[in-house]
A and B are shown apart, each in its own frame.
Chain A
Amino acid sequence: DTEVTQTPKHLVMGMTNKKSLKCEQHMGHRAMYWYKQKAKKPPELMFVYSYEKLSINESVPSRFSPECPNSSLLNLHLHALQPEDSALYLCASSLEGWLNEKLFFGSGTQLSVL
Chain B
Amino acid sequence: GIQVEQSPPDLILQEGANSTLRCNFSDSVNNLQWFHQNPWGQLINLFYIPSGTKQNGRLSATTVATERYSLLYISSSQTTDSGVYFCAVPNRDDKIIFGKGTRLHILP
For the complex, give the distance between the alpha carbons of A90 and B42 in Å.
9
Decide yes or no whether A27 CB sits under 8 A from chain B. Answer: no
- Give the distance in Å from the alpha carbon of A41 to the alpha carbon of B95 in the complex: 17
Chain B minimum-CB-distance residue to A37:
B41
Within residues 46 to 66 of chain B, which ones have a CB less than 8 A from any CB in chain A?
Answer: 48, 50
**B25 within 8 Å of A by Cβ?**
no
Cβ-Cβ contact count across A and B, 8 Å cutoff: 51
By the criterion CB–CB under 8 Å, are A45 and B45 in contact? no
A42 at the interface (CB under 8 A from B): yes
State in angstroms the CA–CA spacing of A102 and B33 once bound together. Answer: 7
Number of interface residues of B (CB under 8 A): 23
Does more than half of chain A's interface fall in helix, strand or loop, or is it mixed?
Answer: loop
Specify which chain B residues have a CB less than 8 angstroms from the CB of A40 in the assembled complex: 103
CA distance A40 to B41 in the complex (A): 11
Report the separation of the CA atoms of residues A104 and B45 in the bound assembly, to the nearest whole angstrom.
6
Q: Mark B2-46, 1 if CB is under 8 A from A, else 0.
A: 000000000000000000000000000011010100001111110
B35–A105 CB distance below 8 A: yes
B96: contacting residue among A37, A103, A108, CB under 8 A: A103
- Cβ of A41: which chain B residues have Cβ within 8 Å of it? 100
- Tell which of A99, A100, A103, A108 touches B41, judged by Cβ atoms closer than 8 Å: A108
Is there contact, CB below 8 Å, between A105 and B95? Answer: no
With beta carbons under 8 angstroms apart, the residue of A37, A42, A45, A106 that contacts B95 is A45
Question: Is A107 located at the chain interface by the 8 A CB criterion?
Answer: yes
Interface check B83, CB cutoff 8 A: no
Q: Inside 8 A of A42's CB, which chain B residues have their CB?
A: 86, 98-101
Interface residues in B70-106 (C-beta closer than 8 Å to A): 86, 88, 90, 94-96, 98-101, 103
- Seed contacts A58-B95, A102-B48, A105-B44; 15 additional CB < 8 Å A-B pairs: A40-B103, A41-B100, A56-B94, A88-B41, A99-B95, A102-B45, A103-B33, A104-B45, A105-B35, A105-B42, A105-B43, A105-B45, A107-B40, A107-B41, A108-B42
Name the 6 nearest CB pairs between A and B, nearest first: A99-B90, A42-B98, A105-B43, A107-B42, A108-B41, A102-B48
